[in-house]
Copies of this chain bind each other. A is one copy, B any other.
């Protein structure tokens, strides 16, 4: 795709974007503020910009007068970049321009780390877990009466130098007929041992040559959503993927309510059946999308938190809920996928990622494996941000982990207008430092419905750094704007007026909302601070950060550092792996090396229960500030704050 350079005047900020980019998003990316309170839906008509040179597509609506259009004004949110551009933002005063210019920091999100199959091979990490071999066997005769299975095994020895082969009963049952149906030309599927020198299993035999078709499934069993990927084992490519809400949601939103349900008579079986139903729906979708026959699937690898894993395997999760919070097991043996109820062939083994503790589950272990933490000399901090945030720190030699309850703020829970990151959620935000007018961008460029986690972080960071809110998250009084108002004794900032929204109500950000975010980020920050302290390290010792979880890719890293969710460090050292659980499953599907290594990783991993670590509560309380009681932990922010000018105040109190 062609790249386009867009220069924003009068700030002289430029940014390079792909042809076809939305202009208001381009401005946001450049750190350039344009008033906009309808989320990019073209409704408020505020994002008027003047195209000084170059061509855009669209941008003309009834919100612009014919005269403006003729002058070259367009609505940024309705404009598509089609050439290099010079775009002028109308500003109300010179002071505006200078302040805006200062604030303009380009949005920095984490580099996304993708597994590369070739890279695995180059690093010597590729040990194929499943391989097919095409055999053109001699037919039995009076001179050669080898039993059918022996015939296959001996031929594999002779022609492919395969040794230590065994066959399981279901495949033995099929072999006699398939050999004859295939005229003794068959393809055998071999499941490789995790440890070299152990036995390879003949798990499947098909007539003819099917060696070109060999697929696996990776699946992340989330409490809310289950994601599956179909993987081509020959190329490492993800052929299709699909997510579905976990059917268990009807029986409880969160892990604890699922456990409560599982304690009822038949509850465990019900939850097991329901999640298997979700898994089967996903399997059907991903094979259909990729035009793969379910019979061509050779393996499935799954990961989930400890409760999801126990429900998947029909292991009573009761004791996860009660002190001292003990899970059933760490390692789970491979098990027939069919025996769990999955609509897969009887030769398919389900591999389930091991758990560390009741609250650090297989999804986290999968993420750690997928991100390759265990192969690095650098001390890496792995954070999966969610209602339950899991933290792992370590390198090739050691690991420590902990879970902390951040609450649902990052997923929109406990926030008055909070919502999941779906269409209509305000995901990006900027503010005019003079007028305090907002610039809102929503997912899907539609009128706003609410605020998602990444949007919330950006808002709070922006408001704090500009001095609209203080380090307790309270709005300063008498600011020169009517967007801040009092509501039932708390102040709130009006992001969008009712008429600009989809919900016919003003969308606001209140002090209560900010407080919830502060508690959530405080729980996580104090979590990794405490964990590091437990292993004798501090934040300074962390070389890298890996973010996992639903919304990590959307977080503006510097904004996350402003609110004190992430420690201050070079954003280039922060990587986002997306759904780490799914990534780990995919990698385990591609190489047995991970299945071998994961046992070592679980052995090296020490779990800490933060609730019983004396210092955790103190650290947590110290974290309930923006960014922290100890501003010394955030030296760059401290420097910026000290050069900050106070915002203009009204003479009289707000009405």
The reply to whether A175 and B609 contact each other, CB–CB distance below 8 Å, is no
Provide the residues of chain B in CB contact with A331, threshold 8 Å: 149, 166
Contact of A141 among B145, B167, B324 (CB under 8 A): B324
Closest to A198 in B: B198
Provide the residues of chain B in CB contact with A357, threshold 8 Å: 145, 147
The reply to whether A314 and B173 contact each other, CB–CB distance below 8 Å, is yes
Indicate the member of A144, A149, A172 with the most B CB atoms within 10 Å: A172
Provide the residues of chain B in CB contact with A147, threshold 8 Å: 326-330, 355, 357
Listed stretches A315-323, A448-456, A472-480, A498-506; interface member:
A315-323
Contact of A327 among B148, B319, B607 (CB under 8 A): B148
> A332 interface residue, CB < 8 Å from B?
yes
Q: How far apart are A147's CB and chain B's nearest CB, in angstroms?
A: 5
The reply to whether B176 and A328 contact each other, CB–CB distance below 8 Å, is yes
Within 8 A of B (CB), among A119-149: 140-142, 144-149
1/0 per residue, CB under 8 A from B, across A348-373: the answer is: 00000001011000000000000000
Q: How far apart are A75's CB and chain B's nearest CB, in angstroms?
A: 58
Contact of A313 among B140, B146, B172, B313 (CB under 8 A): B172
A326 in contact with B173 given A167-B333, A333-B167 (CB within 8 Å): no
The reply to whether B313 and A169 contact each other, CB–CB distance below 8 Å, is yes
Provide the residues of chain B in CB contact with A167, threshold 8 Å: 329, 333
Contact of A328 among B149, B325, B327 (CB under 8 A): B149
The reply to whether A326 and B148 contact each other, CB–CB distance below 8 Å, is yes
Contact of A176 among B316, B332, B609, B612 (CB under 8 A): B316
Interchain CA distance A199-B144 in the complex, whole Å: 36
Provide the residues of chain B in CB contact with A314, threshold 8 Å: 173
> A150 interface residue, CB < 8 Å from B?
yes
Report the count of interface residues on A (CB-CB < 8 A): 45
The reply to whether B169 and A332 contact each other, CB–CB distance below 8 Å, is yes
Q: How far apart are A401's CB and chain B's nearest CB, in angstroms?
A: 13
Q: How far apart are A203's CB and chain B's nearest CB, in angstroms?
A: 12
Indicate the member of A176, A324, A358, A607 with the most B CB atoms within 10 Å: A176
| Contact surface of A with B, Cβ cutoff 8 Å | 140-142, 144-151, 166-169, 172-173, 175-177, 180, 313-316, 318-319, 323-333, 335, 355, 357-358, 607, 609, 612
Lowest 3 CB-CB distances: which A-B pairs, in order? Answer: A149-B329, A147-B327, A140-B326
Given contact pairs A140-B326, A167-B333, A176-B319, a sample of 14 additional A-B residue pairs in the complex whose CB atoms are under 8 Å apart = A142-B609, A145-B609, A147-B326, A147-B357, A166-B333, A167-B329, A172-B332, A173-B314, A173-B315, A173-B328, A176-B316, A176-B318, A176-B326, A176-B328
**20 pairs from A and B in contact (CB 8 Å cutoff):** A140-B324, A140-B326, A144-B324, A145-B358, A147-B326, A147-B327, A147-B357, A148-B319, A149-B329, A149-B330, A151-B326, A169-B333, A169-B335, A172-B315, A172-B329, A173-B315, A173-B328, A175-B328, A175-B329, A176-B319
